[in-house]
Structure 1
């Protein structure tokens, strides 16, 4: 099955910009934030751990090597203060004796460890950056492939704004974490752990001051993490509202201009932007208290160690070099704590992003690929059969005021229908009669809840995607064209087609004349969504696309509903060419399209209530098709 003209966005799934009060936008934001903030806690959920494991598994050796490098780098950096103490306590007395070797050794050690640490850190940063970019590259590809693989039903409920957010904001959050923040985290953890041990070894007595300060540090960090979690959620809520409003405004820009909603939308945007500004200001206030707080505790600790240690030096209970090294290490102990606080913000954002992405990647296909696909016999004849098909659109459970669940609306109660190979069938009926649902089942956008839909006697659920795509093609009223040339859009369903085959398809449909008149002919860029072409021209390109794909079954879903009369006549001529020698389902409100059908099915409430050739149904004295035809003729008067 191939869908050639379906719009990839689904703007109708979200509220239209400017049509709801400002306070309701904040309600929309809260709902979005629940999904956006998922996974923002301290520990990863199971599915996020599975995703992270699968992303890191190919880089096990590189990660092990990076871990060794950062350990060695930390060791080299930690050696500096110790060598300073050796130079002071051993080198200076030796100089008085005329022996410069201890000082030379200490200075050489400091230079060598500094140079080695810098070179190894450079190597670590390059390696970590490569791993991070590979992980993000892999994840970006997985998410894009998954969005393409998931069925139309998923995209009808998963809005375009959320799709964009997954592929941009969430991947950026992960990229920031793996490319920058992880280095700071690893370095901070190792520094705090190693320095804590070194301080205890250098002088246990002085380390009592550190134990006294640790509760104050713990309380400060705990206050910050709790407050930042609230502030973080608030910023996510406000940015969610901003994104929703922005995307919906641009998706509905024609309606915005038509109804002069610019001032109202602008007022909503500025208020939401102000909310986001205030939320970020609150987060920055927390950081403004945290950094000076850590520095203040560190300064108090340093002053206490300096005073107490100074008295010990005067009493010859402590060497000057040891006190100097202790003070140098103590400074390095407090600086990484600020890095840990900064990492916590990035970590929250990244875990939330990872949870959302893992949710998308674990989304089950509503129409899964069969484990052992059955091959369609060649050539494909195109016989369609629906056997006791029952279907209701899936939806989220909704509760009424009394708490009772709303019953699910059944669109097709129990349909039995056979369409012989090569027959052109027109489906007519009121909106909601089940016409488009029947076409979607035939294209396997959905699977029946009960019963079987068959192509040439084979259950569609047993056909592989490749077979189905090549055999069944749908053309919709959107006649969606992608940015690129006319030729590229015609060969969309058959990328290996030659230029001659593309032109042959266009000539067969009747599109060659207007294409040749374009500035660059078949190489003319159609611009965004085919905006360079008229609606009728876009439809002819879509038909040429379908003709070139050469399916056994063609489904036309309201393919002429948006055309004016002259354009419709052009398309009608093209239809006679494209429908020849293939099975076709035509869904149309304009009964002019029905005239080319071999058979008409009048649907009502998901059932076929009239079935026959157009002339046969019109020849009846009464009937639904007669009434519809009369109403259509009156509308033309």
Structure 2
């Protein structure tokens, strides 16, 4: 963990508490001041009773101090929670925006469950930093004030306390050091549990069908012993400090009170001052309350480090250029993409003519989905450049690029509260008429209208088949289609009739756009103006489907994959699907 980055984030979060932070500081200081003054008032009240002085006055002042103490305590809790809420909201908004800015790189570097854990639990703990810092600082006021008060009552009382103070401070320092390390490991283990749980929920049907529930429970809870060990370690550290504190502090209090008794016996201090000295030594040893503040700060620092780790990932950088008028010509110039299993595309050079329908075919693992992701900058090449109408995609503004290139995916995620929202989801606004028209073009209108609330039905309330989900995703792609429409194997779950209808839309209503279609179906390739055949990390052949069909290796690209490979083996396919929201 980069502790400097964590500390910077803690300070930034504290500042985001807004006006409630200075309000909390004011109430906390007033609270600490009253705590510091109250023992003196009580001592003067006792002396007034014993000597027949202004008893009523001192008693009234003591009661007033107690009332102020109660009111400030309530206000301090209120403004503290308000400051925490503002800080936490800023942290979550900042982290969520950054994760979305990372695009598909976010889920390559971190798992979905881990990100959820950091966004929910870690941000909440880090957001408490404003109140924790204020209380840690203000917690010093009563002990320091108490030491000064002991010196004013009698210097020997102060000297006696100061002799034992280094032992108390060493306890605090040891706790902070040990707690920080344990908390970091605890939250790392907690993140692994969250990541495995999200994976299990995503594959719940497979787990149920395979009858592996018990095995999956063991897998998800695998880090639990480690989590328990770190949690127990934290309690052990706290127990050691508390045990030593329970020994040192009472001895220190007894020593100060013994000196106070001697001074009383010699007539150097009054009975009221002995009472005040007893209260002040309790306040002075309250410096050990820094252990509690240190514990909260250590937790906040550990969680801030986990949030800062995500924020340290550089987001996708966009330029500020706009596109000139053009037909939507795509150019891949010397593009190389490397994956965890080696090079996927190497020095690829390809031009997709504007306004053409181009099918991309090849065996699983040939890089078809990677090529599709490159076309709209869902991923960037390690080398080379991708251009749209002569402009490198890196130099385009985000909104310009997203309006120009639309995507349809094999496994679309339906985002939005309703089916209408899911179809209209994207940078280009769409009214109800446009949504219904494009849904009809994707052959989704009929089954959507049969739903309980039609287009107003929530997707979560109406389970649909994979083919129906693909049609809804296609409708969204049709609504958002700009100069370029990229369809990544969207016909995988469609029946033959629906696929034929979609092909008619691509060659009819959408004929003016550049259409890049990744497909495993020969029938789709046959309807394309041109076929790009990928193999061995590059373009093995180009031409019409009829021209390429004479080659046995080309025909084999449409055959089922051998055992051990499958449609999902194409590197980048899942990442491209996960990036639908960004498109």
1:144 matched to which residue of 2?
A: 96
Q: Rate the CA distance shift 1:360–1:340 in 2: closer, same or farther, 3 A.
A: same
Pairwise CA distance, 1:375: 1.6
Q: 1:196 aligns with which of 133, 144, 147?
A: 147
1:172 matched to which residue of 2?
A: 124
8 Å CA contact 1:125, 1:183 repeated in 2: no
Pairwise CA distance, 1:139: 1.6
Q: Rate the CA distance shift 1:329–1:146 in 2: closer, same or farther, 3 A.
A: same
Q: Compare 604-613 and 248-257 and name the one that shifted more.
A: 248-257
Q: 1:392 aligns with which of 329, 337, 341?
A: 337
Pairwise CA distance, 1:91: 5.1
Q: 1:419 aligns with which of 321, 337, 352?
A: 352
Q: Compare 124-133 and 265-274 and name the one that shifted more.
A: 265-274
Q: Rate the CA distance shift 1:310–1:326 in 2: closer, same or farther, 3 A.
A: same
Pairwise CA distance, 1:520: 2.3
- TM-score, structure 2 length as denominator? 0.87
Match of 1:493, SS? coil
- Deviation string 1:306-327 (CA, Å, 9 cap, x unpaired) is 3332232222133222211110
Q: Rate the CA distance shift 1:355–1:240 in 2: closer, same or farther, 3 A.
A: closer
Pairwise CA distance, 1:350: 0.9
Q: Rate the CA distance shift 1:230–1:410 in 2: closer, same or farther, 3 A.
A: closer
8 Å CA contact 2:526, 2:545 repeated in 1: yes
C-alpha separation between the residues in 2 aligned to 1:506 and 1:116?
Answer: 66
Structure 1 residues 185-224: aligned runs within 5 Å: 185-224=136-175
Match of 1:484, SS? coil
Q: 1:459 aligns with which of 362, 387, 392?
A: 392
Q: Rate the CA distance shift 1:200–1:393 in 2: closer, same or farther, 3 A.
A: farther
8 Å CA contact 1:543, 1:574 repeated in 2: no
8 Å CA contact 1:487, 1:522 repeated in 2: yes
Pairwise CA distance, 1:458: 1.5
Q: Rate the CA distance shift 1:305–1:291 in 2: closer, same or farther, 3 A.
A: same
2:469 matched to which residue of 1?
A: 538
8 Å CA contact 1:543, 1:578 repeated in 2: no
1:343 aligns with 2:293: yes
Match of 1:554, SS? strand
Q: Rate the CA distance shift 1:308–1:512 in 2: closer, same or farther, 3 A.
A: closer
Pairwise CA distance, 1:273: 3.4
1:330 aligns with 2:292: no
1:360 aligns with 2:310: yes
8 Å CA contact 1:411, 1:606 repeated in 2: yes
C-alpha separation between the residues in 1 aligned to 2:195 and 2:451?
Answer: 38
2:327 matched to which residue of 1?
A: 381
- Deviation string 1:444-480 (CA, Å, 9 cap, x unpaired) is 1233344332111212122111111111111111122
8 Å CA contact 1:153, 1:445 repeated in 2: no
8 Å CA contact 2:47, 2:270 repeated in 1: yes
2:64 matched to which residue of 1?
A: 112
Q: Rate the CA distance shift 1:455–1:234 in 2: closer, same or farther, 3 A.
A: closer
- Deviation string 1:44-72 (CA, Å, 9 cap, x unpaired) is 50x33443444445667654454344333
C-alpha separation between the residues in 2 aligned to 1:270 and 1:153?
Answer: 27
Q: Rate the CA distance shift 1:194–1:577 in 2: closer, same or farther, 3 A.
A: farther
2:25 matched to which residue of 1?
A: 67
Q: Rate the CA distance shift 1:118–1:262 in 2: closer, same or farther, 3 A.
A: same
1:590 aligns with 2:514: no
1:445 matched to which residue of 2?
A: 378
Q: Rate the CA distance shift 1:602–1:535 in 2: closer, same or farther, 3 A.
A: same
Q: Rate the CA distance shift 1:391–1:292 in 2: closer, same or farther, 3 A.
A: same
- In structure 2, the gaps of 5 or more residues are 562-583
Match of 1:418, SS? strand
1:502 matched to which residue of 2?
A: 435
Q: Compare 274-283 and 354-363 and name the one that shifted more.
A: 274-283
Match of 1:393, SS? strand
Q: 1:614 aligns with which of 545, 568, 575?
A: 545
8 Å CA contact 2:182, 2:234 repeated in 1: yes
Pairwise CA distance, 1:483: 5.7
Q: Compare 236-245 and 417-426 and name the one that shifted more.
A: 236-245
Q: 1:163 aligns with which of 104, 115, 119?
A: 115
Q: What RMSD over aligned residues (CA atoms) do the two structures have, in Å?
A: 2.9
- In structure 1, the gaps of 5 or more residues are 1-37, 396-407, 633-637
1:153 aligns with 2:82: no
C-alpha separation between the residues in 1 aligned to 2:394 and 2:433?
Answer: 36
**Which structure is higher in RCO with an 8 Å CA cutoff and minimum separation 6?**
1
C-alpha separation between the residues in 2 aligned to 1:465 and 1:410?
Answer: 28
C-alpha separation between the residues in 1 aligned to 2:246 and 2:13?
Answer: 38
C-alpha separation between the residues in 1 aligned to 2:310 and 2:220?
Answer: 29
1:475 aligns with 2:408: yes
- Deviation string 1:472-502 (CA, Å, 9 cap, x unpaired) is 1111111221363221111112573221221
C-alpha separation between the residues in 2 aligned to 1:268 and 1:461?
Answer: 41
C-alpha separation between the residues in 2 aligned to 1:205 and 1:631?
Answer: 91
Q: Rate the CA distance shift 1:292–1:386 in 2: closer, same or farther, 3 A.
A: closer
1:76 aligns with 2:5: no
8 Å CA contact 1:129, 1:178 repeated in 2: no
Q: Compare 272-281 and 588-597 and name the one that shifted more.
A: 272-281
- Deviation string 1:236-293 (CA, Å, 9 cap, x unpaired) is 3543443343333223323322332222233455664355345433432433343354
